[in-house]
A and B are shown apart, each in its own frame.
Chain A
C-alpha cells in the first residue's frame, strides 16, 4: 500500500520537477528537498526543545514534497550560541534549519559576543510558545504576590534559574522589575526541570518558568502557582497580567522559533514553512502534544519574522535590567 502511494508521489514529483525545469525556476531548487535535512536543537538530548523536534521530525518528513530524513542534531553549548553560529555558517539550501529560544538568545547578540545576527536569519515558522508563571513552594508561607513584595522589603527574593542568555533568566529579571520585587538569582541550574526542582527543594523562595511545567508541579503538590503571566489567565483563582495590572507581563513569552541560514531562497522557505504547519496538524503530533500538555501553535514564515521583530523590540526595552549577570 505504502510503496504504492510513494510511487505515485514520486511520479507526481517528477512531473512537477520537469514542469519546473521547463519554466524559469532552477531545477535544483524546484527539486527541494533532495538531501536529508538537519534540524539543529541548541541543547542536549532530553530537554523541551529536543523533545519538540523529535516529536515533530517524523511528521515533517511525511509532509515534505519528497521523502527525505529530518535528522535532529543536538548542538549544545554557550546557551544556544554554538547552534546559532553553526546555522549562520550553513548553506541556505534548506538542508540545515534550527529552533531557537527567543527572546533569550538576543542577550549574547547584545553583548557583541556572537558572530551571528538573529534578525538576518530566514525565519520559517514556530514550534509553539509558552507563557510564564510565578510559583512558590507548596507549603511556603508566601501565598500571594503581595507576600513576595513584603518579603522583598526585608531582603532580595531568591529565584532559582538557569544562567544568563536564556529566556527564563530574562523573564525572571523582567518580571521582578515589573512586579516591584527585588530579585537575587541562584543561577547555574542545568535546565528548566533542574531549577524547578531547586524551587521545590527550597533552594530559593520562588521560581518563574513556563506554565505547563508549573501546572504539573502543582498537580503533584510540589509547587503552588501564585500568578500567571497570561493576558487572560487559564487558571481559576490565580491572578493574571490583567488582574495584576501589568500588561507587560503578558509579553514575556518563550518562543520556539524555527529558522534557516540568512538568505535562504523564498521557495525553499515556503516549502519548509508549509510542511511544518502541516506536520503540526498531523494526528500523531497532535496526540503527542495533548499527552505531553504542550501548546502547538504553528506560524507562517511572515508571522515568525514578525514575532522575532516584536521580541527584539521587547528585549531592547528591558535590556538595561538584564545586565546584572
Chain B
C-alpha cells in the first residue's frame, strides 16, 4: 500500500508534472475567484489541451485546477458576498460580515488554513477508504439520497439567520425554480413557457451570479461608498491570526472535514450540501449560536474545511462508477476517458499510479493555492476599500461575461439579470438569498430520488426506515429538528433547578 502511495508521488515529482500542476493551480485559483467560471469551465477549456499530454501529466493539470478552485471561490465569497463557486455560498454567511467589519484578512487567513487542513484530512480519509471505496459508494441508493437531500434542505433553517418564515418562503421559491425544465423521471416539460432554453431548467450558476454578484453590486451602488464602508482601519495584518484561528477551533475543522469526506463520496449530492451541513452542525454545536451570521470566524472555517475535504472523496464515485458528483467532476470524467482511463470498478486496481498521483496533485494544489491566497490577501483585501463607482461596473462586467461563459449561451445573461434584480429586492426587503440556492440545488435530487425510492419500495414509505443508513439519516433529521426545541425547553428547566438548589442551600 505504502509503495503505491510513494510511486504516485514519484510520478508527480517530475519537472513537467510539477509545472503543469502549478499551471493548473494558477488557473484554478483565478477561475475559482471569478463568479461563474469555476472548475468545470476551467477543465472544459483545458480539455483539448490535455489531448497531447501523457495521462499522468493531464491528471496533474486537472488535479491542480480542482485543488485550487475552492480557495479562489472563498476569496470572492468573503470580499464581495459572491460565492465564486456554489459550495462557497456558505462561506458568505460569516465571511462577508467579517469583511464589512474590516476583518477580510482574518477571514481569508482562516479560509486558507481551513482549506489546507480540510484538504489534508480529506486526502488521508480517501487513502484510508480507497480499498473499500466500492462498498461505500454502493451503500447509498435513492432512499439515502432522498433523505440526504432533505437533510440538506433543513439547513435552510440555519441559512435563514433567524428569519425562519422568510427563509421558508425563499426556500419554497427555490424549490419551484428547481422544477422548471424537462422532467427526467416521466418525460415532458414543466413551467418552460415555451422557451427552449428552459428545457434544461434554470441554470444554477448564472442564477447564482445574479442573486449574489449582481444583486450585491446594485445594492452597493445604491448605498455608495465601499464594501467595508466605515471600517476605515482594514485589518489586513490580522491574516496570520486568521490562520491561527483555524488551529484554535479543532472540533470545527475536524467536523467539517469528516462531513466533507463522507458527503463527497456520495454521488450526486455535491459540495453545497457538504458546506451547508458543516456550517449548520457547527452552529448547532456552538454555545452561542446567535453570534453566527454576524461575523463568527467558525462560520468561515466550517464550510471551507468541508469543501476541500470533499474534493478528494468525490473522486471515488467518479472513478469507480463514472458518476460525477458535480459539473466539475463531469468534465474531469471526460478528460479521463479521453486519456483511455475508462472509469469503472477496475480502474481502482488497474490504474493505481495515476489515481494516487491525482490524489497527491489535488492535495499539493490545495496547499499551494492556500499559500498563494495568503500572499495576495493584502492587495485583494483592498478591494473592500475600492469605491463603488469603480468596483460596481467592473464586477458587473466580469459577472455577465462569466455567466455567458458558463456554457456559451446568451440566455444565461438574461437569467443573471433577472436574478440580479430579484436578489436586490431580497436584500432590500431583508429576505435570505442562500435558502433559494440550497433549494435550487436539492429540489431536483429530492424529487427524482423520492420517485425512484417509491418504485423500489412498491409505494411504501417504509423504505426510508427499513434500510439501515437511511434510518440513521432520518434519525439525524429528527434530532436536528428537535434539538433546538429541546434545548429551548431545557433552559428554563435548568434555571429553575439551579434556583431551587440555591434557594434550598
| B185, A188: Cβ atoms closer than 8 Å | yes
| A188, B138: Cβ atoms closer than 8 Å | no
Q: Determine whether B125 belongs to the interface, using a CB cutoff of 8 Å to chain A.
A: no
CA distance A291 to B327 in the complex (A): 25
Cβ of A76 to closest chain B Cβ, rounded Å: 5
Contacts of A31-63 to chain B: CB distance below 8 A: 44-47, 50-51, 54-55, 57-58
Query: B interface vs A, CB < 8 Å?
Result: 40, 44, 47-48, 51, 137-138, 141-142, 181-189, 196-197, 199-201, 267-268, 321-324, 327, 329-334, 337-338, 340, 342-346, 407-408, 448, 451-452, 455-456
- What per-residue 1/0 map shows which CB atoms of A178-196 lie under 8 Å from chain B? 0000001111111001101
- With A46-B330, A79-B187: A54-B456 Cβ-Cβ less than 8 Å: no
Please name 5 pairs of A and B residues whose Cβ atoms are closer than 8 Å in the assembled complex, sorted by A. A45-B44, A164-B186, A186-B456, A217-B345, A293-B342
- With A45-B330, A54-B47, A163-B183: A216-B344 Cβ-Cβ less than 8 Å: yes
CA distance A82 to B199 in the complex (A): 7
A50 — nearest CB in chain B belongs to which residue? B334
The range of chain A's interface size is 35 or more
- Set B200, B334, B338: member contacting A82, Cβ < 8 A: B200
- What per-residue 1/0 map shows which CB atoms of A141-163 lie under 8 Å from chain B? 00000000000000000100011
Q: Determine whether A23 belongs to the interface, using a CB cutoff of 8 Å to chain B.
A: no
| A46, B331: Cβ atoms closer than 8 Å | yes
Contacts of A1-57 to chain B: CB distance below 8 A: 44-47, 50-51, 54-55, 57
CA distance A74 to B332 in the complex (A): 15
| B330, A216: Cβ atoms closer than 8 Å | no
CA distance A1 to B332 in the complex (A): 33
| A44, B187: Cβ atoms closer than 8 Å | no
- Set A73, A221, A291, A325: member contacting B186, Cβ < 8 A: A325
Given contacts A46-B324, A51-B337, 7 further A-B contacts (CB under 8 A): A44-B330, A46-B334, A73-B408, A184-B455, A190-B184, A220-B346, A288-B340
Cβ of A181 to closest chain B Cβ, rounded Å: 16
Cβ of A193 to closest chain B Cβ, rounded Å: 4
| A77, B201: Cβ atoms closer than 8 Å | yes
| B186, A186: Cβ atoms closer than 8 Å | no
| B342, A77: Cβ atoms closer than 8 Å | no
B348 — nearest CB in chain A belongs to which residue? A220
Cβ of B327 to closest chain A Cβ, rounded Å: 8
Q: Determine whether A78 belongs to the interface, using a CB cutoff of 8 Å to chain B.
A: yes
- Set B138, B186, B340, B342: member contacting A216, Cβ < 8 A: B342
Q: Determine whether A98 belongs to the interface, using a CB cutoff of 8 Å to chain B.
A: no
Q: Determine whether A203 belongs to the interface, using a CB cutoff of 8 Å to chain B.
A: yes
CA distance A186 to B457 in the complex (A): 11
Q: Determine whether A275 belongs to the interface, using a CB cutoff of 8 Å to chain B.
A: no
- What per-residue 1/0 map shows which CB atoms of A266-309 lie under 8 Å from chain B? 00000000000000000000011001110000000000000000
Residues of A within 8 A of B321 (CB): 193, 196-197, 200
CA distance A219 to B323 in the complex (A): 18
Q: Determine whether A173 belongs to the interface, using a CB cutoff of 8 Å to chain B.
A: no
| B407, A74: Cβ atoms closer than 8 Å | yes
Residues of B within 8 A of A194 (CB): 267-268, 323
| B185, A203: Cβ atoms closer than 8 Å | no
Residues of B within 8 A of A189 (CB): 184, 452
- Set B327, B331, B344, B448: member contacting A188, Cβ < 8 A: B448
Residues of A within 8 A of B181 (CB): 77-78
- Set A185, A190, A216: member contacting B346, Cβ < 8 A: A216
Residues of A within 8 A of B188 (CB): 113, 164
CA distance A165 to B188 in the complex (A): 9
Cβ of B75 to closest chain A Cβ, rounded Å: 26
- With A54-B47, A193-B322, A220-B346: A86-B196 Cβ-Cβ less than 8 Å: yes
Q: Determine whether A103 belongs to the interface, using a CB cutoff of 8 Å to chain B.
A: no
- Set A200, A202, A217, A288: member contacting B338, Cβ < 8 A: A288
CA distance A188 to B47 in the complex (A): 28
Q: Determine whether A201 belongs to the interface, using a CB cutoff of 8 Å to chain B.
A: yes
- Set B199, B322, B456: member contacting A203, Cβ < 8 A: B456
- Set B323, B331, B345: member contacting A45, Cβ < 8 A: B331
- Set A44, A78, A185, A221: member contacting B345, Cβ < 8 A: A221
